Each structure stands twice: as structure tokens, then as C-alpha cells.
Chains A and B, each alone.
Chain A
């Protein structure tokens, strides 16, 4: 009987089984950032421990970095201190640090893949739940807590329970204006925010096969929003083509050998799964959230659900979410006034996200009452976008083009909603208070839907605003 990718990578990296029944698993790549990792170095010091494999950990700064003025020292003293602690700890322990303005800084889940640090068949971890992003390359990629960051620094291993694997096949062809973001929002809507607990998600099917690596990263990124511990996609020619020539990837004959090895991690045709879900691409429309969890989502064509049609706790959840969002039940979501538009984050802050928006916003203007910001995911994305003149296209349309960071996805830097502002956002979480104001409201959607909404001044259908039509056959 064949094995799936999760089983192969897990077996390869298992050091031993522990007495508790858990397994000790080696981590091929460890990524750290300034919010969840500096404390771990303090824990090491308390125990008199050193870093076991400093060459397998890489650091960057993303959550707290301002996107307007990044000159040091940062204006926010605590933000400056957090960078400094990380900088000192990495230099003390011989860990490579992609510092601001080094040309390599960016959101940890954008930097790993773009440098080629993320490679198929790896176990990857980071003190950040969106680590699942790296699963796009065929990795077991796990978000971990700070004590586990300590464990990995000290031993390069984690104590873990194995996961079940659910294959999610998305079959068919996506309609025009339907993006990878809509695919993952639709999956979470169907399977729920806790549907994935205990599982790794394997995304497969013709829609996933046809996606670019950046689209696959968008899908895997939000696995955690569906409750899955991680999500992955089997490595294929698209994966190898993306990796070829990247800075930290083997070159020449070594690259060919690496591809052979990477290919061998892909799930066998006769692999077994603990569960399987098939989704028809025709059912996926441009999708937006209306509530306070990513599963509280509908297509742009639908009306906001009513608590009257639900029962028990579902009824309470809908009632509470509508209260918070100040939305009316049974009304269209389209036309909901917005105050802020945000394009960026580890979900949708890559070059292709900005290219897709630039193609449609040229010659259009952001509505006068909307504050619109575009935040590249890394210094490299920023550089590549500028080389193509994308920054100018965004600025001409009325967006601010910012410096790289997590920015308004979680608002740990100065980019925040004010009061109960509504934000059309390409990020990953619409939790209460997520974007920096305890009463701020987030509506998640794809980058082109954010752009359409920014131009319209209200939640809009990108297909209508930009006149996107199916090609006549």
C-alpha cells in the first residue's frame, strides 16, 4: 500500500517514539521572528543551553515593523527593543538574520520560499500559525508556540502526535475572477473553522495542479483557519520550476538530483487517506466574509445569513457576529460601505498578487473616502514590483505603496483601523479586534476584490467593476 506525503516526510524525520506515545520529530527548517521567538532565547539561557543546529534556523522581522518609516531606531521604543533582542540573540548564536533594509527582510512566510530555503520533503516550523504556507512545496509545515521554539533551538526536534490526513480535491476549472483566495475561503466555509482539527490537509485535484506556486501558498496559508494543523500540496514540475535558480537551492547537476529526491516525497497513487472531500470548482465564486471567523463567508452574489434560520449555538454565533459587524441579515453583502482597503500579508502579499491587481486598476481611482494601502510581503517583492512599475500603478490609482511587513493583517505596527471602520482586506483573519481597533470590522476577500471594493467604496464584485468576462469559446 502506498503512502501519502505526510507519512513519508514524517517517517523520514522521526527520531524516535517517546514514552508518552508522542514522537520526537526532527525539524529541517526553523524560521523565527521578533514576536514569538526572542523569549525562547531567554528560556535557553535560563537552562544554560545553546542552539543545536544554528545553520537550520533563520530570522526575520515582520510583525512590528512600520511600513512608512523603517529607519532605526524605530519610533516605537518597544518595537525597537524587540528587533534588538532578536538581532543580539541571532548574532550571539550564529543564526542568519534577514534584517530590515538588508534587501532580504520580509514576512517570514514570503522570505522562506523566495530564498529557496523552503524545499519539498522538509519539516518546517515557526512560532507563527501561518507556517502552513510552506506546505505548498510539499512540506509538513507547523505553527508552534514559544516553548516549542525553545525546544527546536535546543534540540532541532519537537514532541508531536501524528496527524490524520484529509485529501481535499478541487476539480474542474475556476471561473474568471475566481482566485486561490476564493478557493480556500470556500473550503473553510464548507468544512468549518474546526473541521480540520487533528488533520493535515492535502490539497489536490485539477484546480490545485493548475495553480502557480504563489497561488498554492495562498491556499496552504489559511489551513490553520480551517483548524488543520498544516496543509500541503504534492511537489511537481511547477514546484521545481519555481525553485530552480533560487539563492539557497542546489544548482546544476545537484538540482536535478534534488528534484528526484523531492519528487519521491509526493503521495503515491495508491496512498491511503483518513478522509476525502471533493469540491466542484463551478461552485466557487468570489467569496467574502460577513462575520468574525473565516468560515462565516458567502459568495459576493449571496445575502448575509439570518439567525432566524439557524438553531442553538449557530443562532447565537450568527446573532453575535452580525451585531459586531453591524450588518443586516438577509441583505446583500455587496454594497456594504468600506473605509479601508488593505492588500498585503503572508496570504496575499506576493508579486503575483500585486501584478493581478495592477492589471485591472490602471486608469481607475480609489473612492475618495477610502484609505487604501498596498504592502509588499518582502523587500524582494517590493524591488520586483518597483522594477515593473507596479508601485506607480497603485499610487496613480490612489493606493499608498508601503514598505514590507505584516502591517494591517494584525496591526502590531502603526497600521490600524480606527473605531468601527470596515476594512476590505486580503489578509487571513476577520477576528474581533484583529486589525488593531477593538471595534474594527474586517471583510476578507481576494486582492482583486479588495481593489474593486476600494474603487467602488463598498464591497464589490471584481468581475463587474473590472468587466471581467469568460473568454468566448
Chain B
């Protein structure tokens, strides 16, 4: 199914270079399915050694049920672990807005149907401040129009062209498309001596 629009309340998690070890610490990767990863999202940022909450934005009452994550530059750097976007999705978040994204993370999110949207610093700061003071209001990510609407204001955003195209054409999970070229795959393998 194509993804043309994502609507939901926002939450701002500030910081550059938020790596996948922070998004989900390695000890939570000990699992054979992704099903239970939601509660582990940002675990060590949210809880101290005794399990007491540290007052992370995700745990603030006013952001309960938020569905769109806003952060800063180079979000998702580090490991290729798909556990990171899986935890984001299982936690209930549907899209991420950031200054920029690490590439493997971006690719993993896309395949799972989580749009990663880029917004410049000035607009992002303004949007984050607006969301902070108006947490009940829904953000609308309009992938077709390449804009974000919040409280009747329009914010410009960008997306990688091929990614946007894949969301609109419902091919963001590429597997069926890849498998439709079985003969060409065989030909390439033959040509390279890999068959």
C-alpha cells in the first residue's frame, strides 16, 4: 500500500549523531524476533540503572502516544542493526524528521515503511518549539506535496527522490519487485561466473 501521508503527534529528541547503540543498546539485540523491541527504545537514555525514569521526552506525559519523532543531524549513525528502526516502529512511531540521516538506518526505515524526512535546522527548531508548546496538535507529513503541516503552518522538507517515489508507488519494500527479475538475475550470475 502506498504511503502518501503520515499524521500524528510529534516529540522532539534533541541531539546530533544519535547512534543506533543509543536507539537500542546492544544487550537488547539478544533475541530471535523483533516483536518485543518496542519498550527497549532509547532504554539507557530513558532509564537509570535502577529502572527509574530519567525524564526523557518520550516518557513525558504530554508526549504519550506521539507518532512522529523529530531529531537533529546524522540520526541513526553506527551499526546496521535493523533492531533500531524496528524498535522505533514497535514503540508506535511512524516517521522521523531530522537534519540528516545515516544511510544504512535510512534504508532500513524505508523498507519498513517509516518515512525519514529531512528538514533544515531553522525550520526544525521552529517546528520542535511549536510541538513542545502544543503537544496535542497533529503533524501532517505530506509526502506528495513534500511539506509538513502543523497548526496551520507549512514547513518545507525534503526526501531522497527514489525513496519518496518508492513510498508513493508502494515499492518501499522492494522484495516482490526484486523477485520479478528472476531471469535477469540468473543471466547476471551466469555472466559473472557466479551461477
Contacts and interface: CB of A to CB of B under 8 A. Distances in A.
A227 B74 contact: yes
Nearest to B187: A15
A287 interface: no
A313 interface: yes
Interface residues of B, number: 58
Given A20-B171, A154-B175, A194-B74, A26 B194 contact: yes
Interface string B146-188: 0000000000000011110110010101110111011011001
B69 to A, nearest CB: 18
B108 interface: yes
Contacts of B108: 145-148
A20 B27 contact: no
Interface residues of A, number: 72
Interface string A20-62: 1110101010000001101100100001010011001000000
Contact of A144 (B104, B160, B175, B182): B104
A296 to B, nearest CB: 9
Interface in A171-192: none
Interface stretch (B3-11, B30-38, B60-68, B129-137): B30-38
Contacts of A38: 32
Contacts of B165: 19-21
Contacts of B104: 129, 143-145, 224, 229
B31 to A, nearest CB: 7
Interface in A59-116: 63-64, 76, 78-79, 81-82, 85
A405 interface: no
Contact of A147 (B21, B72, B173): B173
A142 B112 CA distance: 19
B178 to A, nearest CB: 4
Most A CB atoms within 10 A — which of B79, B160, B177? Answer: B79
Contacts of B166: 20, 22
A413 B183 CA distance: 43
Given A39-B33, A432-B44, A438 B175 contact: no
A20 B169 contact: yes
A161 B82 contact: no
Contact of A412 (B16, B29, B175): B29
A433 B21 CA distance: 7
Interface in B54-113: 72-74, 77-83, 85, 100, 102-104, 107-108, 111-112
Contacts of B188: 13-15, 26
Contacts of A148: 107-108, 111
A28 B192 contact: yes
B76 to A, nearest CB: 11
Contacts of A36: 80-83
A47 B80 contact: no
A20 B165 CA distance: 6
Given A26-B192, A64-B30, A159 B80 contact: no
Interface string A120-131: 000000011101
A26 B186 CA distance: 10
Contacts of B192: 12-13, 26, 28
A47 B175 contact: yes
Contacts of B175: 47, 147, 150-151, 154-155
Contact of A227 (B21, B77, B181): B77
A64 to B, nearest CB: 6
Most A CB atoms within 10 A — which of B29, B30, B49, B100? Answer: B30
Given A143-B104, A431-B22, A436 B27 contact: yes
A26 B189 contact: yes
B65 to A, nearest CB: 26
A18 interface: yes
A431 B78 contact: yes
Most A CB atoms within 10 A — which of B74, B174, B182? Answer: B174
Given A20-B162, A412-B27, A431-B21, A159 B174 contact: yes
Nearest to A293: B17
B187 to A, nearest CB: 8
Contact of B179 (A21, A64, A154, A436): A154
Given A39-B32, A53-B194, A411 B27 contact: yes
B34 A431 contact: no
A429 interface: yes
A443 to B, nearest CB: 16
Contact of B181 (A24, A39, A128): A24
B167 to A, nearest CB: 9
B82 to A, nearest CB: 4
Interface of A: 12-16, 18-22, 24, 26, 28, 35-36, 38-39, 42, 47, 49, 52-53, 56, 63-64, 76, 78-79, 81-82, 85, 127-129, 131, 143-148, 150-151, 154-159, 161, 193-194, 197-198, 224, 227, 229, 293, 313, 317, 320, 410-412, 429, 431-434, 436, 438-439
9 contacts: A24-B185, A39-B33, A82-B31, A144-B80, A145-B111, A146-B82, A194-B100, A197-B100, A434-B26
Given A429-B19, A429-B21, 10 more contacts: A22-B162, A24-B177, A28-B192, A36-B83, A39-B82, A42-B33, A129-B79, A146-B108, A161-B162, A431-B21
Ordered nearest first, which 7 A-B pairs have the shortest CB separation? Answer: A145-B108, A145-B82, A143-B80, A159-B174, A438-B44, A146-B82, A194-B74
Interface of B: 15-17, 19, 21-22, 25-27, 29-34, 44, 49, 72-74, 77-83, 85, 100, 102-104, 107-108, 111-112, 160-163, 165-166, 169, 171, 173-175, 177-179, 181-182, 184-185, 188-189, 192, 194
